Amino acid sequence: MYNIIQKNPEAFIGYFDTGSTHTSTSEAIKSLYNSCLATVQEEDRETAKKLLLRLFPKFQSVWRNNTIFTVVKSESLWRKRLRICSPEIFPRYFQLAIPGGDFSNFELKEILALVDDVKKFKEKLVELSKQKHPDGITRARLFLERLEDYTTEEIPLERIPLIVQALFNIGDQLLLPEDDKCRMFDFGNETRIGRVIYQMLRRLDEQERFSILKKAIENGNALSIIEYEVITYGQAHGKYGVDKPYPEDKWIVSEQHLQELEKITLEKVSFAAQHDLLLQTPKLASILYRWQDWAGEKEVKQWVEKVVSKDESLIVFLEKFLQITFSIASSDVVSRKSYRLNLKQLEHFLDLSKIIERVRKLSKDNWLTANQKNCNQRV
């Protein structure tokens, strides 16, 4: 039983939503559970099953064919309590040391101690983004996940503005493909950064939150993170695709303060466009939609036409509209990751008929990356 659990972590860690997962996947995992229990002597199987039900929420969901709605806070508690069902903690139960690339509590606290010197803290985050975990993700992603364990109590109030300032300054450097939706129902580092900021800001009153955000946006360079956060705050007010506003006690900023943050963000976007910085932002498509909302269609389309007039810039622009998708076949236990070009979004800003011939010619160039060649083929 030990060996089966060790070699099949995805079947045991985390939680399982039976309402949104393919039936065949559930059956495949249940078959694995049966194989696991079959390794135990018959008189001990019921005890072993009770143990697995207690240790692994996913086992309980699949075995009993029900969904356990696990909130983010539960996953955080799993980590803090060093439970085996936590994806980050699981490997430790099968090794005699902390797995390579993971964080000890001592190292986490050492990094948090750097916060008082924002420059050193930012440098450390960028350093973590260049360090790889054996799973292929960066240590920056792991740090952001573990940081959530400290946001509600352990981080002193006076350090909150410093952490927000750092994330709004170098956050875009943490938005890396390696960390972006590694599996179905996963999400990118912009969401992890957003959760850290939200959880910390909730400890302050509205005026303090606004003051911190205003200063961080004005001085920040992470345009994708800035836009993502402002849109998230706007959605709480019933904007940006949300049908109705959240209760006021869920708002991070008031309506008036939201408008001020939107105005400052628009100024940052316009500045980036004028100084040839905008194309390099990781989440360009989302920024273009917001820019259009705030400044109108004409300004955005003029910028796009100018950018795509150069071949190298055109290729980079197309690549910004690549999206990660997942598929799962009846024989698969886990989903398969692939990339597709979101043509609907792309056509919102660009007439594809005007670039198709250029794209065909560029497809033959050897300097294109695999993703860029994929974009060209899709167009």
Question: Would you say residue 15 has pLDDT above 80?
Answer: no
Q: Which residue do the tokens 């957003």 mark?
A: 194
User: Cα–Cα distance between 108 and 155 in angstroms, integer?
Assistant: 12
Q: Which residue do the tokens 């919102």 mark?
A: 348
Looking at per-residue pLDDT, the higher value among 308 and 334 belongs to 308
Q: Which of 76-85, 145-154, 181-190, 192-201 has the lowest mean pLDDT?
A: 181-190
User: Cα–Cα distance between 114 and 119 in angstroms, integer?
Assistant: 9
Q: Give the model's confidence band at 75: pLDDT under 50 very low, under 70 low, under 90 confident, else very high.
A: confident
Count of beta carbons in the 10 Å neighbourhood of residue 11: 23
- Tokens (6 digits) for 24: 């065949």
Looking at per-residue pLDDT, the higher value among 128 and 20 belongs to 128
Q: Give the model's confidence band at 343: pLDDT under 50 very low, under 70 low, under 90 confident, else very high.
A: confident
User: Cα–Cα distance between 234 and 237 in angstroms, integer?
Assistant: 5
User: Cα–Cα distance between 102 and 105 in angstroms, integer?
Assistant: 10
The H or E element spanning position 323 is strand 322-327
Q: Give the model's confidence band at 70: pLDDT under 50 very low, under 70 low, under 90 confident, else very high.
A: very low
How far, in Å, are 118, 163, 280 from residue 125 at the CA level?
Answer: 11, 11, 20
Tell whether pTM > 0.85: no
Q: What is the mean pLDDT of residues 53-75?
A: 71
Question: Would you say residue 332 has pLDDT above 70?
Answer: no
User: Cα–Cα distance between 120 and 242 in angstroms, integer?
Assistant: 38
How far, in Å, are 175, 316, 324, 343, 344 from residue 375 at the CA level?
Answer: 20, 10, 13, 10, 13
Q: Give the model's confidence band at 148: pLDDT under 50 very low, under 70 low, under 90 confident, else very high.
A: very high
Enumerate long-range contacts of 108-114, CB under 8 Å, 24 or more apart.
Answer: 108/143, 108/146, 108/147, 108/150, 111/143, 112/147, 112/150, 112/154, 112/155, 112/159
Q: Which residue do the tokens 């503005």 mark?
A: 161
Is residue 188 within 8 Å of 179, Cβ to Cβ? yes
Count of beta carbons in the 10 Å neighbourhood of residue 68: 14
Residue 71's pLDDT is 45
158-180 pLDDT, tens digit per residue, is 999 999 999 999 999 999 988 88
97-147 pLDDT, tens digit per residue, is 666 778 888 899 899 999 999 999 999 999 999 999 888 899 999 999 999
3-state secondary structure of 132: strand
How far, in Å, are 147, 207, 212, 255, 277 from residue 220 at the CA level?
Answer: 21, 20, 12, 22, 14
User: Cα–Cα distance between 246 and 255 in angstroms, integer?
Assistant: 12
List the chain domain ranges. 2-64, 308-379
Residues whose CB is less than 8 angstroms from the CB of residue 319 and which lie 6 or more positions away in sequence, other chains included: 369, 371, 372, 375
